[in-house]
Structure 1
Amino acid sequence: MACQTQKALLIIANLLIPAAVLTFAVGFFPYKAVLPGLATYRQLEYGDPPKAPFDKVVFMVVDALRSDFVYSENSGFKFTQSLIRSGNAIPFTAHASSPTITMPRVKAITTGSIPSFLDVIMNFAESDDSSTLANQDTWLAQMKAKPDGKLVMYGDDTWLRLFPGFFDREDGTSSFFVSDFTEVDNNVTRHVPGELRSDQSDWTGMIMHYLGLDHIGHKTGPLGPNMIPKQKEMDGIVNKIYNAIDKRPHLESTLFVLLGDHGMNEGGNHGGSAPGETSPALVFISPKMKKITKGYKCPTTPKDDYNYYRTVEQSDIAPTLAGLLGFPVPQNNLGVFIPEFFEFWENENDRAQLLLRNAMQILDIVKATFPHEAFSNPFSALDCSSPSSGAEELACKWRTCTTIFHAAGSFRPRASEIMPALTDFVTAAQSTMSSTASAYDIPKLIIGVVVSSLAAILALAALLPIRSVSPSGAFYTILLLIYGIMMFASSFVEEEQHIWYWTASFFLLYLWIRSLRTGTSLLSSFTSPEILALAVLRIARRYNQTGQKHAGAPDIAHSSFLTMPIVLWSLVGLTYLLATLMLMPHFAPRSTSADGPMAEELFFGISASVSIGFLAFVFKAAFTARDAPESLDGLLFSDLRGFLEQLPIVLLARLVFSALGLGLLYMVVAARVRRSQGRDEEEPEVSRLSSGLFELLNVFILTQTKTTNIPLFLLFRVMHHALSTHPLTPLQTTLTTLLMTHVSFFALGNSNAISSIDLSNAYNGVSGYNILAVGILVFAGNWAGPIWWCAAGVQLLKTSSSSTSLITPESAKSNAQKDAQTEKEWVMRERKRLAASVKPGAAKEEEVGDDGRWFGHVACLTLFSATSLAAVMVACTVLRTHLFVWTVFSPKYLYAMAWGTVWQVVVNVGLGGLFWCV
């Protein structure tokens, strides 16, 4: 009965984890309320709105266009730089606030507001329509609302999801085919000549969103060999569009805007708050710009990091376009009109009117945000000498503006008097409103913490009856405490990999010291499996530099040694060869004769395993030939390389997955046949079917791994073999699994930043967007190491001693001295002795059978998942007003969601349970 109760507690605990995750997420990531409808012009004493200098806009977004890609000496945008020097273009660095992901950045650019952090999730859900801007006020909606308003759009289909039904002509491309450097851009460019012709330029706005430069960054980084050629290609598009505007009368009043939605870090990724990620270029281009500027030095050097020229907020784009194109500022805008463009209006009253309309629109947002504070009281009650809140400070600044208006008598003060006060108000309002905390649902945050804590308590209650005090148990407890405490420090969250690297090193060191106490000589101990595992761990730690502090720093994966094609592919080939050899015993019989059916079965086994391994290797080679062809330079004949580049990689991936599926089916049927015929072989602790499924999973994991990271799994295999020769207790096996899942996650280049999410293998075998298939492949690609170690940990658990932790060091030493048998033989003898001497009812850590070992394993992993999740939730709740809440703690919670739900419930319990049961 107690056993059934413990199982029930563990099941409930694992069900509570996703419930806690969902509840907390709803409270932590609410959608922000927005003012409905489209803005209209207000009646002002200044009269009608000033005449706009432009009537059309070409809005060219180059995804991940970091500022230095346009403005630096090494830029490929030479024509654009000439426009900047001649005064035909005005350059800026546009600050992109975190999260630096396409969807929230497009929202900021088009609405002028600060999007929700939850848009990070929606950015990956291409079928999602809950984050649409169809009913919100944007500059696109204002342009379309004009009497002759027509919009066309080509490129990233994020725009089509955000603005369904907005465009009169459209052609979208998926942003997640990150291996495509050319087709996604050619699909946009092919529409440009026609749209610039007079017979087809019936649009008021043409949006283009190029993706190739971003894809190159993800694959090869900002210094990759394809980066400069892509910049030159984009510069050629700028040249073509500018010349059309300059020479064709129907385009003479067209504003051309070139910008990036975000930048990229030194690893070529984005999503976080590193300077490179938050500093995209922004260039306003037109021959009319010569009226207001004499030009700028270009190329030039940044003032600091990537800040070239003057830095503006991305939200400033919306009100600036409103003034330059002649429509009301969008209602939810928090941006400020860029002052460089006031020079287009010679009349100072026109300038004052533009800024006043901008200020009054922002004032509406401020009043809606602080309905019961300073703005609801008479201005006379304000103490502006020492405002007590941000709302009161804004009220005081607005009071200054109204005082100037009233003093003017006609409510039309001189621009020189009112514009400084209005500027002071709008910049302060922008800063205050942009940093205002979200409307957190505190009760839901508390409920989420309570539910996750309850899950931890239930897991602990299920675990206690089968665990006793031991050094391994103390190590596990300390790990729980350290991890929970570290989640309250932003620097440790950013550099979490070091927690796992050091704890894994200490644990392996503990196992080594423990082996010394069993009588092993000091000299022979230096060749022990623990020392080998430590050496492998040291290499894995340096394989990919990750985190924030060392991202992009020299590492093994990007070293001149490993990037040599001959070295890289020798290691990759060795990894696939080993995977093929390990598959063979699971297709071939254990014993064969010289002729007859057994020889045929042996031939089938070799053929099946070689076919799977060869298909998987060819797919990876073909994928790399398209994805990073420089990795094959000098390695293959040009004809062979050309052949690989022409192979249909979607079909190849499907063949690999189909072969793995058939292999799985064969192994399951063969196991059932052996069992039904009563000819099961005498197997070790790990069943033939379980180890066979592990080898199939290994091939799948290699398929979902970047080519440069594949040699890591060769190292993991060495470590797994070394640890399998060490007599681990079940708890030590669980600790090994827990530590190595996290070590492998970071060693493969992941971090707690959104920018480290790798999409390169998200479409293996998928020709179009399928949210389930792509979601599974994205998770498998980014959690490849942890998935591998989950299955490997089960293999270790099946061979772990069921009572070794009850053996004291003294008895171990004594027995080792008295007997010359191997340690493994000694352990088996001790297990039998202790099993016979155990008293009924004694609560001992390892006094459990096979089911008890698996139950304790899952209980320990569940306890860690629930406890770590609760710690992250508490940290996010307590630090919700922290400066880094959106750049550090919120991304960490998104990862905690994945670890707690998909990793714990689906992988540890589901996949791990499958490997244990078979």
Structure 2
Amino acid sequence: MAKGARASSIKANHVALKTKVFGPVETARTERLSAKLLALAQAPRPSAQKDVTMDVEDAAAPAPLKSALKATKQADDMEVDKDTTQAPASSKPSSGRIEKKRSARSRSSGIVFPKYKNGKKVGTKSKKSGFFPYKPFLPGLAEYEALGSGLGAPPKAPFDKVIFMVVDALRSDFVFSDESAFTFTQSLISNGAAMPFTAHATSPTITMPRVKAITTGSIPSFLDVILNFAESDTTSSLAAQDTWLAQMKAKGSGKLVMYGDDTWLKLFPDTFDRADGTSSFFVADFTEVDNNVTRHVPEELRNNDWNTMVLHYLGMDHIGHKAGPRRLNSIPQAKEMDGIVKQMYTAIESQKHLANTLLVLCGDHGMNDAGNHGGSAPGETSPALVIMSPKLKKISAGLESPIAPGDEFQFYDTIEQSDIAPTLAGLLGFPVPKNNLGNFIHDFLPFWSSADDQLHILLSNAKQILNVVTAAFSVSLFEGEGPQDCQNPSSDIERLGCDWKLITAQLAQSRKKPGHNDPLLGDLIKWSKQAQGIMSSTASNYDMTKLYAGQAIGMLSITLSVLSVAPVLGKSWVFTGIILLYSVMMFASSYVEEEHNFWYWAASGWIAVLIFKTARNSLTTSFSCVVVLAGLRLTRRWNQTGQKFAGEPDIARTFLAEHTTLLWALVFAMYMWNCYSLTSTGFPHLPRSIAKGASQLVVVMAAAFKVAFTHEDAPELLDWTANKVAELTTGFSLVTRARGVFIGIALALAQTIGAEYMSGFRRHRFATTRTIHNLLVLFLITQSRATNIPLIMIFSAQFHLLHNLDLNLAEVTITSLLFQYMSFFAFGGTNSISSVDLSSAYNGVSGYNIVAVGILTFVSNWTGPIFWTSATTIMLLRLRASGEKNVLRNYIALQTVFAAAGLVFVMAACTELRTHLFIWTVFSPKYLYSMAWSIGQHLGMNIGLGSLLFWLGTY
């Protein structure tokens, strides 16, 4: 489907639901990094300009600049090849220009096959390290270079201090729209004291890679999504990279201070002379995380010993994750942020030591209308950027504010987030960071009235980008006296080389006629933007040997696995058809985005097959299948996912949000069902009264926790009854309540398994497995959002009906496979990073524990598949009791064939489509999800948990 249609649909959905959509609680920051010293920042370097302050002249922008900007207006909107960017076959990285990080290996795991575990593990590891290589970088700190052509020392900088204020998830409309509470900031835009932009943030839109882009000017690797969770992986640090922070520290004109999100302290260890990091794990806190930052501001504004102050506020992001951007709390939060801007701007105006201070307000990323981020939706990639100073009034007459967006979330001029680094370099007087791909924002060129100074700024920026380009491609493409061989360039990079040769010739010619730089200024701006586009999308850093080696090993593993289960596989054309259809679907971006439709239709079609099969024998069983089919239709509308209908009205976010009494009636009904199941079949070794009391106690504790959690998370979902329950159960923290529930479930599991072991596994094996299943269901309910709990009741009813059908092994396997995937999407899952639900990742956790948080995160996102893994085990036990042999082995083998085929074909799609426009926004996230499905769900749940439950039922 067309991307334009997608965007229009999403825009309509935003308007329709802007007051109704609420999102899950999500921890604002999962980026846990480890880093070493920023030694290079301390290294002395020659300074070409000692006096970095100046008074801006009253003169308006010179005519040459106006002419150049007018001539390059179309260049601002130019597009690089949208499908592929290919390097010439002969191009190779220049020797000695790039230092690759090889100090740490990429972590990987493989799919476990019954007989061929190691082969698949090697294949996955090879593919992962080849497809997600560590990005090369130019080491060391940049220094001013002699530009020649009569250009002297770098021009004086208009500022010597910077206050860099990051408001996490500050979407552009939060500042610029007519509904914004940033009234003071808008007044600065109107009177010319502030210049506004929409700063485009590339995917992945999470804090750590966005901070990398802002500080280095480079385009971070998608591997940063994985490295967010690897605390010991030092490759995510910026200790050895050139950044504008390192340049400001190397200037030696003042200290660096930082307050807010401790991601900055992880990325830049020992860079800041004063710092107070704020943990961002618990998003229920709207105020304390920001008060911890603001309390330092008045004192620092009085200090005169710093040249850089970084502030990173988390409250706005926390509110978004709680209930979306339209929550009532967002208005007071925006007013608070605007008040802090006013406080700092007023100090700049009134205090002499701050007269040459530049104030920058920006978001690291935006958010979608569910309050999440990480993907590439317009709201996620459109943070605001406002650069403020009283000096700007001399070069700007002001702009209308507030305004309506030109397109979705596009206010004023749109720049790349990486453009911030070279712009700060010019305004603050230091060399552009070595790995920068950003462009100096030409709106600030009027600060320098001299055409030669403007040329110096743009040429320095262009030459620095040229160093990055020649490090990735052949230097010879950009060398030479003239464009004699540029009649028919065969690729974008050759065309870029030809354009640079023209600029070089033009530069030499312009120096013969001083003051005639206007065409050259425009050409430099155009060339830099073109180079930025090519380098941002180029695919020159893949290790093709590893890619194809991983692919070959994976295909070998599939072949061997299919051979091991050929007799069973040959009897089920449906299972084979599912594998083939799913594998082919992975090569189409639209099908990957809308994958949920495949599983809904496949599950519905399969139940229809069962209806026709059972109709010959019993109308009762056929009716059971019809009920299961009706349940599927209901689950399909529970959570709208994908791209085409994202944000459309659904049951969970619109209907139940408006009918809270019905919601809690369903929630309490699920708890009562679980309690009844436990009391009727649970704890067979205990006296009836004790078993009943224990079951009721643990279920009541779980229900009380869920009510209290929702009261803190989304109080608008509570009805009168739930509010009363919340009031009656006050007094304990959520962490304590969650721990109580988990301990109760753990003790019940220990008693059940221990009593069965003491009896020799002879009397109540099937009842024991049922009890474990019901306790697992209670745990899954605890890890689910309140609006999704009724889904588990639907799944339980479907399981009860399917369990009574006379299904063979292949049919049980197909049913389990289809319902595992169907339930994942029914709970709101997608193939986008932004849909990862971390609302229950910290239940019972008072501090960061990567193992505990990782397990809880997986369980809360794979609740549906885990339920069907446990339910399938009970169905397999029934098959074994009927006399069928090798039940578990053949079931795991069939599931392994699908898991292996799915992962290998996703790998193949990523390899073949590595130059596709959506490789990083569609296919790469899908590959990460495929690894989670293969390692977490297949290896951990189907094989690990399923085998354990089966063993307990058959020992």
TM-score for the superposition, normalised by structure 1: 0.88
Alignment partner of 1:492 out of 584, 591, 603: 591
Alignment partner of 1:449 out of 551, 560, 563: 551
CA distance in 2, matches of 1:264, 1:865: 32
Structure 1 position 539 matched with structure 2 position 634: yes
Give the direction of change, closer, same or farther, for the CA distance of 1:883–1:293 in structure 2 (3 Å limit). same
Structure 1 position 693 matched with structure 2 position 796: no
Alignment partner of 1:741 out of 820, 823, 826: 820
Tell me which structure has the larger Cα radius of gyration: 1
Give the direction of change, closer, same or farther, for the CA distance of 1:860–1:411 in structure 2 (3 Å limit). farther
Structure 1 position 114 matched with structure 2 position 225: no
Give the direction of change, closer, same or farther, for the CA distance of 1:642–1:109 in structure 2 (3 Å limit). farther
1:509-548 map, 5 Å: 509-518=608-617, 520-521=618-619, 528-548=623-643
The offset of 1:96, in angstroms, is: 0.7
The offset of 1:868, in angstroms, is: 0.5
After superposition, what is the alpha-carbon deviation per residue over 1:783-823, rounded to whole angstroms, capped at 9, x for unaligned?
A: 11111111111112222488xxxxxxxxxxxxxxxxxxxxx
After superposition, what is the alpha-carbon deviation per residue over 1:753-803, rounded to whole angstroms, capped at 9, x for unaligned?
A: 11101111111111221111111111111111111111111112222488x
Contact 2:683 2:771 (8 Å CA) reproduced? no
SS in 2 for 1:718: helix
CA distance in 2, matches of 1:644, 1:345: 66
Please, which moves more after superposition, 410-419 or 322-331?
Answer: 410-419
Alignment partner of 1:209 out of 282, 290, 312: 312
Q: Give the letter for the 2:867 counterpart.
A: W
Contact 2:195 2:387 (8 Å CA) reproduced? yes
| Equivalent in the alignment of 1:785 | 864
Alignment partner of 1:674 out of 748, 759, 776: 759
CA distance in 2, matches of 1:525, 1:107: 59
Q: Give the letter for the 2:806 counterpart.
A: P
SS in 1 for 2:226: helix
After superposition, what is the alpha-carbon deviation per residue over 1:485-511, rounded to whole angstroms, capped at 9, x for unaligned?
A: 100000000010001000000001111
Q: Give the letter for the 1:670 counterpart.
A: A
Alignment partner of 1:507 out of 600, 606, 609: 606
Structure 1 position 262 matched with structure 2 position 365: yes
CA distance in 1, matches of 2:473, 2:514: 28
| Equivalent in the alignment of 1:842 | none
CA distance in 1, matches of 2:690, 2:726: 31
| Equivalent in the alignment of 1:870 | 904
Contact 1:332 1:365 (8 Å CA) reproduced? yes
| Equivalent in the alignment of 1:350 | 453
Structure 1 position 618 matched with structure 2 position 713: no
SS in 1 for 2:258: strand
| Equivalent in the alignment of 2:503 | 401
CA distance in 2, matches of 1:9, 1:98: 31
Give the direction of change, closer, same or farther, for the CA distance of 1:620–1:910 in structure 2 (3 Å limit). same
Structure 2 portions without partners, runs of 5+: 1-110
| Equivalent in the alignment of 2:407 | 304
The offset of 1:897, in angstroms, is: 1.1
Contact 1:351 1:415 (8 Å CA) reproduced? no
CA distance in 2, matches of 1:9, 1:130: 28
Q: Give the letter for the 1:19 counterpart.
A: V
Please, which moves more after superposition, 406-415 or 450-459?
Answer: 406-415
CA distance in 1, matches of 2:282, 2:313: 13
| Equivalent in the alignment of 1:899 | 933
Alignment partner of 2:146 out of 39, 43, 64: 43
| Equivalent in the alignment of 2:852 | 773
Structure 1 position 440 matched with structure 2 position 542: yes
CA distance in 1, matches of 2:941, 2:305: 54
The offset of 1:127, in angstroms, is: 5.3
Alignment partner of 1:648 out of 720, 733, 748: 733
After superposition, what is the alpha-carbon deviation per residue over 1:523-573, rounded to whole angstroms, capped at 9, x for unaligned?
A: x677x1111111111111100001111111111011244443322222222
Alignment partner of 1:359 out of 452, 455, 462: 462
Contact 1:734 1:860 (8 Å CA) reproduced? yes
CA distance in 1, matches of 2:338, 2:151: 42
Q: Give the letter for the 1:751 counterpart.
A: T
Structure 1 position 192 matched with structure 2 position 297: yes
The offset of 1:886, in angstroms, is: 0.9
| Equivalent in the alignment of 1:226 | 329
The offset of 1:914, in angstroms, is: 0.7
The offset of 1:281, in angstroms, is: 0.7
Alignment partner of 2:158 out of 25, 40, 53: 53
| Equivalent in the alignment of 2:397 | 294
Alignment partner of 2:744 out of 640, 652, 659: 659
Q: Give the letter for the 2:669 counterpart.
A: L
CA distance in 1, matches of 2:488, 2:518: 27
The offset of 1:15, in angstroms, is: 4.1
1:882-897 map, 5 Å: 882-897=916-931
After superposition, what is the alpha-carbon deviation per residue over 1:835-884, rounded to whole angstroms, capped at 9, x for unaligned?
A: 8xxxxxxxxxxxx42xx111111011000000011110111111111111
Structure 1 portions without partners, runs of 5+: 1-7, 591-597, 803-830, 836-847
CA distance in 2, matches of 1:332, 1:326: 18
Q: Give the letter for the 1:759 counterpart.
A: L
CA distance in 2, matches of 1:203, 1:83: 25
Structure 1 position 722 matched with structure 2 position 756: no
Contact 1:621 1:644 (8 Å CA) reproduced? no
The offset of 1:467, in angstroms, is: 5.1
SS in 2 for 1:124: coil
Structure 1 position 389 matched with structure 2 position 522: no
The offset of 1:733, in angstroms, is: 1.0
CA distance in 1, matches of 2:874, 2:185: 59
The offset of 1:463, in angstroms, is: 1.0
SS in 2 for 1:675: coil
The offset of 1:701, in angstroms, is: 1.2
Alignment partner of 2:244 out of 107, 125, 139: 139
| Equivalent in the alignment of 2:7 | none
SS in 1 for 2:190: helix
CA distance in 1, matches of 2:513, 2:541: 36
SS in 1 for 2:654: coil
Contact 2:177 2:402 (8 Å CA) reproduced? yes
Contact 1:100 1:270 (8 Å CA) reproduced? yes
| Equivalent in the alignment of 1:178 | 283
Give the direction of change, closer, same or farther, for the CA distance of 1:578–1:187 in structure 2 (3 Å limit). farther
Alignment partner of 2:575 out of 476, 486, 493: 476
Alignment partner of 1:609 out of 695, 703, 712: 695
Give the direction of change, closer, same or farther, for the CA distance of 1:713–1:49 in structure 2 (3 Å limit). same
Aligned alpha-carbon RMSD (Å): 2.2
Please, which moves more after superposition, 114-123 or 329-338?
Answer: 114-123
SS in 2 for 1:11: coil
SS in 1 for 2:326: coil
Give the direction of change, closer, same or farther, for the CA distance of 1:412–1:402 in structure 2 (3 Å limit). farther
SS in 1 for 2:251: coil
After superposition, what is the alpha-carbon deviation per residue over 1:664-694, rounded to whole angstroms, capped at 9, x for unaligned?
A: 1111111012227x6x14x6xxx22222211
Contact 1:373 1:391 (8 Å CA) reproduced? no
Q: Give the letter for the 2:575 counterpart.
A: Y
Give the direction of change, closer, same or farther, for the CA distance of 1:11–1:574 in structure 2 (3 Å limit). same
SS in 2 for 1:557: helix
SS in 2 for 1:863: helix
After superposition, what is the alpha-carbon deviation per residue over 1:113-151, rounded to whole angstroms, capped at 9, x for unaligned?
A: 111110011223455432100110001111111112321
The offset of 1:646, in angstroms, is: 5.8
Percent identical among aligned pairs is 51
TM-score for the superposition, normalised by structure 2: 0.85
SS in 2 for 1:343: helix
SS in 1 for 2:114: helix
Q: Give the letter for the 1:786 counterpart.
A: P
Please, which moves more after superposition, 98-107 or 326-335?
Answer: 98-107
The offset of 1:382, in angstroms, is: 4.4
CA distance in 1, matches of 2:688, 2:806: 33
| Equivalent in the alignment of 1:65 | 170
CA distance in 1, matches of 2:633, 2:304: 61
- Work out the number of aligned pairs and report it: 840
Q: Give the letter for the 2:859 counterpart.
A: A
The offset of 1:635, in angstroms, is: 4.3
After superposition, what is the alpha-carbon deviation per residue over 1:265-300, rounded to whole angstroms, capped at 9, x for unaligned?
A: 222211121111111111111222211112111111
The offset of 1:327, in angstroms, is: 0.8
The offset of 1:577, in angstroms, is: 2.0
